[in-house]
Copies of this chain bind each other. A is one copy, B any other.
Amino acid sequence: MRTVGQLLQQFLRVRARTEALCASLAPEDQVIQPHPDASPAKWHLGHTAWFFETFLLERFERGFAPHHPDYGFLFNSYYNGIGARVERPLRGLCTRPTVAEVLAYRNAVDERVATLIEEQPDSAPLAALVELGLNHEQQHQELLLTDIKAVLFQEPVFPAYAPGKPPQAGRGETGWTRFTGGRVWIGHEGADFCYDNELSRHEVLLRPYRLANELVSNGEFLRFMHDGGYARPEFWLADGWDVVRQRGWQAPQYWLQRGDDWFAHTLYGLQPVDPLAPVAHVSFFEADAYARYAGKRLPTELEWEHAARQSLAMDHPGALAGDVFEPHNAPVAGTGPRRMVGEVWEWTNSAYLPYPGYRAASGAIGEYNGKFMVNQVVLRGGSVATPRDHVRLSYRNFFHPDKRWQFTGIRLAEDAQAQ
């Protein structure tokens, strides 16, 4: 159990990191919306303040008054229970409040929340909402990075977000690990924070399966491309094939061919594609097509979670080791599946659906997860953009199968024989 001082410290630390992520951007960079899935940096800054103001201050603060009468409309993301809002694809048309005004809003909210934490040190509901708000803020830290990447991709010179170069990755051995499966427990265990979609913890039956020790690399994906992967319908789900043709996909998001060479727009600017690094920015459709091309399949989320627990995936040295902004793949010691956490979000072949006994929270906060449980695919493991203390082995991320502006990659699986 955390002390009040620890909670306050964590609150201030997480909040400050959000602003730090935007520190190198010009105000102009923080306004636009490069595509409807991404949001302006300014909006992320404001929305995460709004979350604390709406779900925490409004409930716990005596004599609560909103910081600004329009911000509730401007910075609501998707909570129908709260009221009207700027439609998502129009977020990039709001120039006011300015970045400076949004930062002032954040400061004001920070002070008011800090005061509340100190005044109500024993309020478990308050502490729970602080924790939810911080987890929410960390999710937006990841989105900030991917959305900034999308913004800078609009600019003809592909400016770098961070100085330096992406780490040149070697790669570990590329074997497979067998898991027996059987009757296994799935879902979050214990009293620590988790999202409602990680519950209830429940048992499932798994058949024996094998999981690749390494992620699929850029070099392997290039071979798929050279073999006509994007032009051969036999590898693709029907909906995926439609998307490939309609959008003219021929490579992962952010890849550009110049002469015979492939480059990728990264947070370090335009860089040659590293054949040993894990492929990223592929959709579920591409991950699934690659697996069929390779004669394998994607794991289910149940298989992934079971394997990760067996492999103590969180303990891998090197995972989540520092502020690297692009996937790489430095070899690590040990056996079994590697880098299951903190490299790229790994597409599974599981639809995002409620676990048995799932209960959404009541009120607007219950819109956090449950209402997205259709048409989306589960991803597991977290990426280089995920804050290191945010992800869990039971963590369920989800996106529509055609999305690829996140750091999303591929780990293969296959059925194993019973022994």
Contact = CB atoms under 8 A, between A and B. Distances in A.
Nearest to A232: B80
A357 B238 contact: no
A321 interface: no
Nearest to A69: B157
A112 interface: no
Interface string A40-77: 00100000000000000000000000000010011000
Interface stretch (A15-23, A259-267, A371-379): A371-379
Interface residues of A, number: 62
A219 interface: no
Interface of A: 26-32, 34, 42, 70, 73-74, 78, 80-81, 86, 90, 92-96, 98-99, 151, 154-157, 159, 183, 202-205, 207, 233-234, 236-241, 284-285, 288, 349-351, 353-354, 356-357, 371-375, 377, 401, 415
A353 B356 contact: no
A159 B377 CA distance: 42
Contact of A351 (B93, B236, B351, B415): B351
Contact of A157 (B70, B183, B202, B351): B70
A29 B94 CA distance: 8
A150 to B, nearest CB: 10
A184 to B, nearest CB: 10
A203 B202 contact: no
A156 B69 CA distance: 11
A237 B95 contact: no
A284 B373 CA distance: 12
A157 B95 CA distance: 11
A26 B207 CA distance: 54
Contacts of A353: 349-351
A238 B371 contact: yes
A151 B31 CA distance: 13
Nearest to A354: B349
B96 A155 contact: yes
A241 B74 contact: no
B156 A70 contact: yes
B28 A99 contact: yes
